[in-house]
Structure 1
Amino acid sequence: MAFAEGLIAFIATNIDDIIVLLLFFSQINANFRRRHIVIGQYLGFTTIVLASLPGFFGGLIVPREWIGLLGLLPIIIGFKQLVNRKIETVQVQTVTSFENSSYRNSTFSFLLSLLNPHTYKVAAVTLANGGDNISIYIPLFAGSQLASLSIILAVFFLMVGVWCAIAYLLTRQPTIANILSRYGQPIVPFILIGLGLFILYERGTFGLIFSA
């Protein structure tokens, strides 16, 4: 029961994440690696889960309008990519060159990936896009026993990896890969800005901002 509950909850709340992951995987190059996307996805989703756990310990409802403020994250990232793309590329190349020449050990490589700005970009977008999941996960966790909660969380984190694998495999399909390689890079900043604006609108956060 808990397994099915966790599976349904994850799919229902993260179906739109496939599109975002497709865009990220379409940008893979010598500087932006698959591991940056996977680690960033796990960091962002872990933050969402941690923010939802108070529901298990007695319940805490986060106002929808305040959750919508997370929409500012992809907007900021999108504008940064538009305005400062060249400078950011040089900085990431420097970090990547250091990684390739100085460290071959997988542990050090993982640690450097955690420090890579691309990892936090993915984590920030994941958190913003899934911020509204908190309002769903809180009552889900609140109605669970410790054993069922453990199963649900195990399913969640397993599905994050499955989601990454599905998105990556889709980008390997010739038709999808051709479209993404041709149009993905230029439109990503605009998609991020649009995503942020949609999050602000859909959560009713504009009213919160303008009433302040």
Structure 2
Amino acid sequence: MNELITAISTGVVAFIATNIDDIVILLLLFSQTNANFRPQHIFVGQYLGFIVLIILSLSGLFGGFVIGANWTGLLGLIPIAIGISSLINPEDESPEEFVGENLLSSDEYIPSFIAPQSYTVAAVTIANGSDNISVYIPLFASSQLASFWVIIGVFFLLLGVLCYTAYKLTHQKAIAEILTRYINHLIPFILMGLGIFIVLNTGALSLIKLAASCCCLIVLIRKDEAK
């Protein structure tokens, strides 16, 4: 029972850390819906893109079966590094610019049984999913098979909740503006917390060694910024 609760809570935290910023992009997408670009295209596209990100992250799960948990737990330093880097080097690109660069024309023809608009949204999801892969690989590597399936179930459930929430928020402009303005400031801390959990939960590093590793990461990231 404790393992189930841990898997669910881990899935919730991991999803929030890697996808909550997507609500800004979803708000922009839902605000552009019309007769040719419908909300269902966004829902389907989000799930398609997310499935691709999960598949690309499966190397962590398979690696966890081959390599001991103590070693794979070191991959938890990746989300910590991403969180630190996000604090030191905040992204300059706005969500509007990102969507503008990646969102293809809804009229573009893509031969498929799924609407081309859904593939367009999926492409945006994948393009914005590098952080997802960086977090999911160490997460899957440190998870047992049963926990993995629980986490995946939580992911897909919360993805639907996220899409529905964004859809509803398009009609609540004040709340949407608050989320757009402040939500990105929380993500680095969630990522670092998730990474710390992975490292300590697998016993990869002691608390003191983890703290020393974080200090080294800060120094390295600052040096990289100075170049």
Scaled by the length of structure 1, the TM-score of the pair is 0.59
Shift of 1:78: 3.3
Task: Please give the alpha-carbon distance, in whole angstroms, between the structure 2 residues aligned to 1:77 and 1:12.
Answer: 20
Task: Please give the alpha-carbon distance, in whole angstroms, between the structure 1 residues aligned to 2:102 and 2:53.
Answer: 24
Going from structure 1 to structure 2, the CA distance change for 1:75 and 1:26 (only over 3 Å counts) comes to closer
Asked if the contact 2:102–2:123 (Cα under 8 Å) also holds between the matched residues in 1, the reply is: no
In structure 2, what is the equivalent of residue 68 of structure 1?
A: none
Give the aligned length.
Answer: 146
SS in 2 for 1:57: helix
Shift of 1:173: 2.1
Q: Among 37, 43, 46, which residue is 1:41 paired with?
A: 46
Q: Which amino acid is the alignment partner of residue 53 of structure 1?
A: L
User: Is 1:23 the counterpart of 2:28 in the alignment?
Assistant: yes
Asked if the contact 2:33–2:39 (Cα under 8 Å) also holds between the matched residues in 1, the reply is: yes
Q: Which amino acid is the alignment partner of residue 126 of structure 1?
A: T
Gaps of 5+ in 2: 1-5, 65-71, 79-92, 178-220
Asked if the contact 1:40–1:121 (Cα under 8 Å) also holds between the matched residues in 2, the reply is: yes
Going from structure 1 to structure 2, the CA distance change for 1:147 and 1:48 (only over 3 Å counts) comes to same
In structure 1, what is the equivalent of residue 160 of structure 2?
A: 161
Cα offsets for 1:134-181 (capped at 9, x unmatched):
11100100111111000000000111100001100101226579x9xx
In structure 2, what is the equivalent of residue 58 of structure 1?
A: 63
Task: Please give the alpha-carbon distance, in whole angstroms, between the structure 2 residues aligned to 1:156 and 1:23.
Answer: 22
In structure 2, what is the equivalent of residue 121 of structure 1?
A: 120
Segments of 4+ in structure 1 off by > 6 A?
74-77
In structure 1, what is the equivalent of residue 141 of structure 2?
A: 142
Asked if the contact 1:77–1:121 (Cα under 8 Å) also holds between the matched residues in 2, the reply is: no
Q: Among 4, 7, 10, which residue is 1:2 paired with?
A: 7
Going from structure 1 to structure 2, the CA distance change for 1:79 and 1:149 (only over 3 Å counts) comes to closer
Structure showing the higher helix proportion among its residues:
1
Shift of 1:117: 2.1
In structure 1, what is the equivalent of residue 88 of structure 2?
A: none
Shift of 1:76: 9.7
Query: What is the aligned-residue identity percentage?
Result: 53
Going from structure 1 to structure 2, the CA distance change for 1:23 and 1:152 (only over 3 Å counts) comes to same
Gaps of 5+ in 1: 65-70, 96-110, 180-203, 208-212
Task: Please give the alpha-carbon distance, in whole angstroms, between the structure 1 residues aligned to 2:165 and 2:98.
Answer: 27
Shift of 1:128: 1.1
Scaled by the length of structure 2, the TM-score of the pair is 0.55
Cα offsets for 1:57-112 (capped at 9, x unmatched):
01598xx9xxxxxx9xx98973587xxx9xx56x46x99xxxxxxxxxxxxxxx85
Asked if the contact 2:25–2:99 (Cα under 8 Å) also holds between the matched residues in 1, the reply is: no
Alignment of 1:83-98 (within 5 A): 88=105, 91=107
Task: Please give the alpha-carbon distance, in whole angstroms, between the structure 2 residues aligned to 1:137 and 1:176.
Answer: 29
